[in-house]
Chains A and B, each alone.
Chain A
Amino acid sequence: MASRKWGGTLFWRGVLSIAVFLTLWEIGSLSKVWLKWEMFAWLKEMLILTGWTKNYLPWIGAIPAPTEVLVAWGKVIGDVGYWHSWYMSCFRVLGGFIAAMAIGIPFGLLLAVNRTAFGIGFPVFEVLRPIPPLAWVPASIIFWPTQELSIAFVTFLGAFYTIVINVIGGARSIDTRYFQAAQSMGSSSWDIFRRIILPGTLPSIVVGSAVGMGITWEVVVAAEMISGGGSQIGGTSGGGLGFFIWNSYVGGSYEQIVVGMISIGIAGFLSSELLRALGHRVTPWLRLR
Chain B
Amino acid sequence: MEPDAQSVEVERMLEILRKTMPFQMVSDALLRRIAALGRQERYERGAVLYDQGDKAGDIYIVISGSVEHALEPGINARRPVQVLGAGDVFGWAALLEKYPHRLAKAVVMDVAVIVRINGDELLRLLEADPDAGDVVMSRFATMITRDYTVPDLIAQMRGIHRKMHSQDIQGMNLTLYRILQWIKSPRPYLMVIGIALFLGTWYLFVEVWKLPRFQEMPGLTVVLKEWLNPNPVYGLSLYTAEYYKHIGVSIWRVAQAFFLATALGVPLGLFLGWSRKFKEYVFPVFETLRPIPILAWVPLAIVMFIATESAVIYLTFLASFFATALNTMLGVESIEESYVRAAYCLGAKKWQVFRHVIVPGALPFIFTGLQISIGVAWFSLVAAEMVSGQYGLGYVINTSYTMVRYPTIIIGMITLGAVGYVTSAMVRILGDYLMQWRVRELALGGQ
Contact = CB atoms under 8 A, between A and B. Distances in A.
B300 A139 contact: no
Interface of B: 186-187, 189-191, 193-195, 197-198, 213-214, 216-217, 277, 280-285, 288-289, 291-300, 302-305, 378-380, 382-383, 386-387, 393-394, 397-398, 400-401, 406, 409-410, 412-414, 416-418, 420-421, 424
A18 B286 CA distance: 9
Interface string A120-134: 111110011111111
Contact of B413 (A136, A257, A266, A269): A136
A218 B386 contact: no
Contacts of B424: 130
A135 B304 CA distance: 25
A221 B382 contact: no
Given A131-B414, A131-B417, A221-B296, A124 B198 contact: yes
A245 interface: yes
A261 B195 contact: no
* Interface residues of chain B: helix, strand, loop or mixed (majority): helix
Contact of A135 (B186, B277, B280, B412): B412
Interface in A96-149: 116, 119-124, 127-139, 141-145
A274 interface: no
The 6 closest A-B pairs by CB, nearest first: A119-B190, A138-B401, A249-B299, A120-B194, A131-B417, A14-B284
Interface residues of A, number: 62
Contacts of A10: 280
Given A120-B193, A130-B418, A134-B382, A139 B409 contact: yes
Contacts of A82: none
Nearest to A18: B284
Given A135-B397, A139-B409, A226-B387, A261 B285 contact: no
24 contacts: A9-B280, A13-B281, A59-B304, A62-B304, A63-B303, A119-B186, A119-B189, A123-B190, A129-B417, A130-B424, A132-B383, A133-B379, A134-B382, A138-B409, A143-B213, A217-B293, A218-B293, A222-B295, A222-B387, A225-B295, A226-B386, A226-B387, A248-B299, A249-B302
A17 B299 contact: no
B299 A127 contact: no
B303 A262 contact: no
B420 A130 contact: yes
A145 B213 CA distance: 8
